[in-house]
Amino acid sequence: MEALLSKTALIYPIVGGILIGLASICLMLFNGRIAGISGILKGTLRFEKGNYLWRVTFVLGMVLAGILVLLVFPGYAVIEINRSLWAYAAAGLLVGLGTGMANGCTSGHGVCGVGRLSNRSVAITMSFTISGIITVWVINSVFGGMI
């Protein structure tokens, strides 16, 4: 409980949330685009003319920021979830299918859509959240935490 209340545990998520919000606002203000990561990545992979450079720059910025965090705070980005490679592959496939069905991801709907008071985005974000809660409960309760 003490670690949960430490300054580090409280400050990093707040700073991260502020940076995500600022990046989303800047993309909307300066480029008129929503910061939906799945749509940005999809457009990058499709080589959409006129929209390619900003998309590649955005994706590269996310990757480089992650690398910078690993270099500056190497212990901070440790993942402590032990799952099989197949579980990660299945999770990635299901997330990809879900973002396709929802026409967006948690960043587009959860950060930008909810911030714009979009009823559709609120409903989809609630669906993401409830699905995640149920999935974690089933994996931990039914499968003993291992799949």
Of 13, 34, 12, give the one whose Cα is nearest residue 23: 34
Whether 72 and 119 share a structural domain: no
How far CA 129 is from CA of 42, 118, 133, in Å, comes to: 23, 16, 6
Give the pLDDT of residue 119: 92
Q: How many domains, the chain?
A: 2
- Same domain, yes or no: 63 and 10: yes
Q: How far apart (Å, rounded) are the C-alpha atoms in residues 13 and 49?
A: 36
pTM of the model: 0.70
Domain that holds residue 121: 83-147
Give residue-wise pLDDT tens across range 95-137. 888 888 878 787 888 888 888 888 988 998 898 889 888 988 8
User: 40-91, pLDDT tens digit by residue?
Assistant: 888 888 887 778 888 898 899 989 988 998 888 877 767 777 777 888 888 8
Domain termination residue (choose one: 33, 62, 78): 78
- Do 1 and 67 fall into the same domain? yes
Q: Are residues 124 and 146 in the same domain?
A: yes
pLDDT at 7: 66
**Beta carbons of 87 and 145 less than 8 angstroms apart:** no
* Same domain? 36 vs 60: yes
Give Rg (Cα) of the chain: 17
- pLDDT for 64: 94
92 shares its domain with 63: no
